[in-house]
Structure 1
Amino acid sequence: MTRTPLRPLARILSARANGENPDTIERENLRLRHEELRDRSRNRAEGRLLLLGVAFFMAFTIIGGRMGLLAASQPEEPRAAATGAEILNQRADITDRNGRVLATNLLTHSLYAHPKDMVDPGRVARELAAIFPELDAEALQKRFTDGRSFLWVRRKLSPEQMQAVHDIGDPGLLFGPREMRLYPNGRLAAHVLGGASFGAEGVHSAEVIGTAGIEKALDARLRDPAKGTEPLTLSIDMTVQAATHEVLEAGMKMMNAKGAAAILMDVTSGEILSLVSLPDFDPNDRPQPLVGAKDDPADSPLFNRAVQGVYELGSTFKIFTAAQALELGLVNPETMVDANAPMQWGKHKIKEFQGKNYGPLLSVTDVIVKSSNVGTARLALQIGGLRQQAFLKSLGFFDATPLELVEAPGAKPLIPARWPEIVTITTSYGHGMSASPMHLAAAYATIANGGLSVTPTLLRQDRPGPGNRIMSEKSADAAVSMLRQVVTKGTASMGEVPGYAVAGKTGTADKPRPKELGGGYYKDKVINTFASVFPANDPKYVLIVTLDEPVETSGPEPRRTAGWTAVPVAAEVIRRTAPLLGLRPAVEFVAPDALLAANAIDE
């Protein structure tokens, strides 16, 4: 910009020549300069005002539009901006094989507090303690007044509790929507379902995660967004489960047992239709596990005896020895075996129950019917340790069961470190080796279905594939025939259920004494088991019933054998559940002359 001088020399000289005052030239130029500056400043101010007006207009337009959008939308709890994955609180339902709900989600609310917004923290603490007796009013008031800005009060509220809290009327108490896991059947199938709790939590939602049982084992499947709301269908039949639970609970009390377990399995598919472990719990209010150093985990209601209970299963193992001897062609059902007792083997003496002697000779069938330890030992020695181990391994006794429960992998059978001939002998009749009732159920199902291996499962199977062949159908049928005679004329005579041809084997095993108490075995504490198959002429199901420390006291002497304790309980379970499973009782043919004789007696 060219700056005009206030006193240009040419004009000054011209003005002096003409007799004019040169100061007027300077004043005129100064006035023009001021006017130019004023015009420039005014133009700049007008531009700034225009820009500011446009900015204000745009800001008010955006704010007004946002306010209108908020007014037209549903109200929701404000969410804090944070990095990380969004909380996924959707969880699929669990149903039984017939679609009845075992586990579902219930919409409820949580209660949290903003103590700094409270009008009267003391009154709020007292009224909350009146609504929730487990809360301490004094401790709660200290937490409300210690300077914190956020506090969880309750993770779950019932509608009645929510209304009572709402009536307190304090602005510092707030509710957040929450989905919780609900088990509408209470204790039924508690050890199958396990339970669920909250994982990641926010005021607007919480992550529901499995804590035990199938809820934890299949947690990823139940939370998979790709599955949507598709329920997880179990093999359990709740009608059968309820009947089994009722009978087993009554039987446990009648037999004065400290615990009990029952497994009902389809012999072809391995589907478990009922699994009961007692004592049990309500998964809606899952108790805390025992944590004391002297506490026995088996004393906890959380302990799943059917899966986690690893026991010596006694004489129920004898049928495996007989079936393998048949399969190897070493014997047939009528082959006579040396059963003279006691049997001396090195420094060990093999005795029969109560010092009996079933010898000198017994057929293989009678070895099973009379439950002879010596006869079974002789068969095992013919088989040999290596072949015995291979057979038991093929039945699944060397590995944990691949069941869909988080507790299953930890329930691995206890196998002897060495396998000399004395171990071959004791294992043949179920001592020195421990396994769970679930292992036993799968092994008996293999025999019952004609010799095909079975994988136990808690999931409904639409088209189960055939298992590996473990033994020939002929050997398996002969073994089932032996088991049938155990019920008709052997140690399980109280297991007969008219119309259903029950077959099975009893097992009474002394409980081992802890090392700190001297080791060995208790003389008055046993684990009793009855492994049964029904109907024997066309096996469909296997039922395992186990009682922990039972004693039957109706007679003059206490009786602790399985024939007096586990067998009658199992018989009642079959009597109750067989019709529910769609099995019609077989009607025995009665000769016409028998009817006439009965009529004559009545007359």
Structure 2
Amino acid sequence: MKRFISALKRSVRPVEPTAGEAGPGRAPRAPGRRRPGLDGPKSSGRFALAIGLFAAVYLVIGARLVEWGAAPGETATYFRSNQIMSARPQIIDRDGRVLATDITTFSLFAEPRRIIDADEASELLLTVMPDLDPKWLYKRLSGDQGFVWLRRELTPGQKQAILDLGIPGIGFRSEKSRFYPGRSSAAYIVGHVNVDNQGTAGMEKWIDDQGYRALQNSGLATEADLTPVKLSMDLRVQHIVQDEIEQGMERYQALAAGGVVLDVETGEIIAMTSVPDYDPNVPSQALDKNRLNRMSAGLYEMGSTFKTFTTAMALDSGKVKLTDSFDASKPIRIGGFSISDFHGKRRVLSVPEIFIYSSNIGTAQEAEKVGIEAHQAFLTKLGLLSKWKTELPEVATPTQPKVWKLINSITISFGHGVSTTPLNTAVAAAALMNGGKLIPPTFLPRSKEEADAIAERVVSEKTSDEMRYLFRLNVADQRGSGNNADIKGYRVGGKTGTANKVVHGRYSDTKKFNAFLASFPIDHPRYIVLTVIDEPKAEKGKYYATAGMNAAVMAGNIIRRSATFLGVHPEFGETGKSLLVSY
């Protein structure tokens, strides 16, 4: 507008003084004399044109001032540059329960040029928002800007209190704000948005990356046209997992814990949580370095849960049978290291005994039977050494030795020397339970037919049957390390994992990362349940803090509480279908 007015002024040039007209170095003309050539109709027309142009300019200015005054508390410039705060689609669980939705909030702004007394305005605003920095506030209000933000997302009470102050040059902007009714329940799956309602983590970021951000920037993301985004999550099961994981972390005085429930037939993530967690309504909490989605973005040596994959590899290769035995009477010495068992039986062990006693010595010999290259290839085929591409952006890439040697193969056979995510571990285990098909994980609904179309066979059905037998044996047999997860009526199977953590480049004897890898109902598995706990302490009255004493208990509680929601009904007695395992 200023440029427009200046252009108009330049177009109206003043009439140059002529002979007889008063001016520098000129005498005034005598009274009553006419100026030749300027007192006629032509000079009158020029004067009228100039008056008309100036009148037009001020008429435009007046009209614009009226227009701006009709828009309460907002500048025209701000209206043009940021007309609306775009809506976002709702996020719902598999049954339509709301996980994330938009609500209308108000944000406070000022037009410093209209502030009459910045000092008085600052003092008044501080009575409503005493947490603001007085110097910062005064500086914002005393500037010459046309528009400045003072605070985003006010409460209704704050808005009314500020209105009651009646400060000129202060206004409000209605915005869309994201609200998560479940608070921390599903934080690491749903994610959160920033102050401009743009997704920065979890499924919120995935939504933006699918093209929503472009719609938002173009102003086309209207609430009426947005279809809710449905997840594979069951909010009821998610609450149970969250509750049990939080209780476990507190009961065992651990640094952190986590859990995941995975459908083995479709690859759907039914529930996943990690604690410490955060409230996505307060996204700044996610900046805490301890608030990490450990299930998909954390890398760990998974300990003896890896014996599941070593045993499956040995059986599927045909070089080892369930009826075979290995000498576990003495430690293995290799490369200056000695490999022994935690509770060694010091005798020859059968393959099932190696599994339920969690023998490092026996498992290492199974890996040796298969060979180094085949061992690496098998773990790669199961997806344990590769990053899974999921809708969730927070997924870590597993690590492994640059060159596999015999010592690497032996230690990796019982879960040391390779770091992977708990999610990778759960997905690989699902392939061993569902008949031998590896199915990529997803946080979106997927039918069995859709899963079958993308599934890849990684082991034979016979190997899958044998692994289900070993899983059940390890839980049902009192000698098994997983008997604390034996929930009556649900025929649970599983494998414990107690890994010594690396501290200052060496394995610690006291700090452990524990896991329990479970599946149920084991006769016809539908779900994988994996729980992890970081540096747990022995429960009061107990002597050990191994996985069977904590992670297995957590997994069992999750199964007991969530099974009916998952459509798995208990069967008591021995009337259930028996596993058919041929020796």
The aligned counterpart of 2:181 is 184
The aligned counterpart of 1:580 is 565
Aligned with residue 323 of structure 1, among 307, 312, 315: 312
The aligned counterpart of 1:28 is none
Report the AA paired with residue 574 of structure 1.
I
The reply on whether 1:209 has 2:216 as its aligned counterpart is no
2:130 and 2:237 map into 1 onto residues whose CA distance is 39
Q: Residue 166 and residue 251 in structure 1: after superposition, are their counterparts in 2 closer, same or farther (change >3 A)?
A: same
Is this contact kept in 2: 1:197–1:208, CA < 8 A? Answer: yes
The aligned counterpart of 2:472 is 484
Report the AA paired with residue 503 of structure 1.
G
Counterpart secondary structure, 1:284: coil
Is this contact kept in 1: 2:104–2:177, CA < 8 A? Answer: yes
The reply on whether 1:461 has 2:446 as its aligned counterpart is yes
- Structure 1 gaps of 5+ residues are 1-36, 199-206, 292-296, 591-603
The aligned counterpart of 2:163 is 166
Q: Residue 319 and residue 550 in structure 1: after superposition, are their counterparts in 2 closer, same or farther (change >3 A)?
A: same
The worse-fitting range, judged by mean Cα deviation, of 495-504 and 580-589 is 580-589
- Counterparts of 1:403-414 in structure 2, within 5 Å, are 403-408=390-395, 411-414=396-399
Q: Residue 119 and residue 46 in structure 1: after superposition, are their counterparts in 2 closer, same or farther (change >3 A)?
A: closer
Report the AA paired with residue 428 of structure 1.
S
- Counterparts of 1:222-261 in structure 2, within 5 Å, are 222-223=212-213, 225=215, 228-261=225-258
C-alpha deviation, 1:497, in angstroms = 0.6
1:220 and 1:369 map into 2 onto residues whose CA distance is 46
The reply on whether 1:127 has 2:124 as its aligned counterpart is yes
Counterpart secondary structure, 2:197: strand
The reply on whether 1:370 has 2:357 as its aligned counterpart is yes
Counterpart secondary structure, 1:167: helix
C-alpha deviation, 1:383, in angstroms = 0.5
Aligned with residue 117 of structure 1, among 110, 114, 118: 114
| Residues 40-73 of structure 1, C-alpha deviations (whole Å, 9 max, x = no match) | x998799999999999999999999x89x979x9
Counterpart secondary structure, 2:101: strand
2:179 and 2:340 map into 1 onto residues whose CA distance is 53
Q: Residue 49 and residue 549 in structure 1: after superposition, are their counterparts in 2 closer, same or farther (change >3 A)?
A: closer
The aligned counterpart of 1:494 is 484
Is this contact kept in 1: 2:73–2:172, CA < 8 A? Answer: no
The aligned counterpart of 2:532 is 546
Is this contact kept in 2: 1:307–1:436, CA < 8 A? Answer: yes
Aligned with residue 79 of structure 1, among 60, 69, 76: 76
C-alpha deviation, 1:318, in angstroms = 0.6
Counterpart secondary structure, 2:284: coil
- Counterparts of 1:155-554 in structure 2, within 5 Å, are 155-198=152-195, 207-221=196-210, 222-223=212-213, 225=215, 228-287=225-284, 297=289, 300-301=290-291, 303-354=292-343, 356-360=344-348, 362-408=349-395, 411-462=396-447, 463-464=450-451, 465-489=453-477, 490-514=480-504, 519-554=505-540
2:180 and 2:543 map into 1 onto residues whose CA distance is 40
C-alpha deviation, 1:149, in angstroms = 4.5
Is this contact kept in 2: 1:318–1:429, CA < 8 A? Answer: yes
1:560 and 1:420 map into 2 onto residues whose CA distance is 32
Q: TM-score, normalised by structure 2?
A: 0.83
- Counterparts of 1:140-155 in structure 2, within 5 Å, are 140-155=137-152
Aligned with residue 94 of structure 1, among 91, 95, 101: 91
The worse-fitting range, judged by mean Cα deviation, of 477-486 and 326-335 is 326-335
Report the AA paired with residue 185 of structure 1.
G
The reply on whether 1:562 has 2:552 as its aligned counterpart is no
Q: Residue 130 and residue 442 in structure 1: after superposition, are their counterparts in 2 closer, same or farther (change >3 A)?
A: same
C-alpha deviation, 1:76, in angstroms = 9.0
2:369 and 2:81 map into 1 onto residues whose CA distance is 65
Is this contact kept in 1: 2:262–2:269, CA < 8 A? Answer: yes
Is this contact kept in 2: 1:551–1:565, CA < 8 A? Answer: no
C-alpha deviation, 1:87, in angstroms = 6.8
Report the AA paired with residue 123 of structure 2.
R
Is this contact kept in 2: 1:342–1:357, CA < 8 A? Answer: no
C-alpha deviation, 1:128, in angstroms = 1.9
Is this contact kept in 2: 1:392–1:398, CA < 8 A? Answer: yes
C-alpha deviation, 1:101, in angstroms = 1.3
| Residues 142-177 of structure 1, C-alpha deviations (whole Å, 9 max, x = no match) | 442355443321011111111011111011211112
C-alpha deviation, 1:403, in angstroms = 2.1
2:518 and 2:125 map into 1 onto residues whose CA distance is 56
Identity %: 37
Report the AA paired with residue 375 of structure 1.
G
Is this contact kept in 2: 1:124–1:168, CA < 8 A? Answer: no
C-alpha deviation, 1:358, in angstroms = 4.4
2:335 and 2:574 map into 1 onto residues whose CA distance is 53
2:203 and 2:158 map into 1 onto residues whose CA distance is 31
Counterpart secondary structure, 1:580: coil
2:164 and 2:123 map into 1 onto residues whose CA distance is 14
The aligned counterpart of 1:29 is none
Q: TM-score, normalised by structure 1?
A: 0.80
The worse-fitting range, judged by mean Cα deviation, of 223-232 and 127-136 is 223-232
Report the AA paired with residue 470 of structure 1.
V
Report the AA paired with residue 379 of structure 1.
E
C-alpha deviation, 1:247, in angstroms = 1.4
2:543 and 2:168 map into 1 onto residues whose CA distance is 67
The worse-fitting range, judged by mean Cα deviation, of 397-406 and 532-541 is 397-406
Counterpart secondary structure, 2:194: strand
2:128 and 2:60 map into 1 onto residues whose CA distance is 46
1:443 and 1:327 map into 2 onto residues whose CA distance is 15
| Residues 311-355 of structure 1, C-alpha deviations (whole Å, 9 max, x = no match) | 11011011111111111111221222222221233533210005x
Counterpart secondary structure, 1:507: strand
Counterpart secondary structure, 1:208: coil
Is this contact kept in 1: 2:75–2:147, CA < 8 A? Answer: no
- Structure 2 gaps of 5+ residues are 1-35, 576-583
Report the AA paired with residue 476 of structure 1.
S
| Residues 471-491 of structure 1, C-alpha deviations (whole Å, 9 max, x = no match) | 111111111110110101100
Aligned residues: 525
Report the AA paired with residue 452 of structure 1.
K
Q: CA RMSD in A?
A: 3.1
1:444 and 1:290 map into 2 onto residues whose CA distance is 32
- Counterparts of 1:62-77 in structure 2, within 5 Å, are 77=74
Counterpart secondary structure, 2:388: coil
C-alpha deviation, 1:246, in angstroms = 1.0
C-alpha deviation, 1:85, in angstroms = 9.4
C-alpha deviation, 1:288, in angstroms = 5.1
Counterpart secondary structure, 1:311: coil
Larger radius of gyration: 1
Counterpart secondary structure, 1:586: coil
1:417 and 1:180 map into 2 onto residues whose CA distance is 47
Is this contact kept in 1: 2:311–2:366, CA < 8 A? Answer: yes
Counterpart secondary structure, 1:353: coil
Report the AA paired with residue 150 of structure 2.
V
The aligned counterpart of 2:23 is none
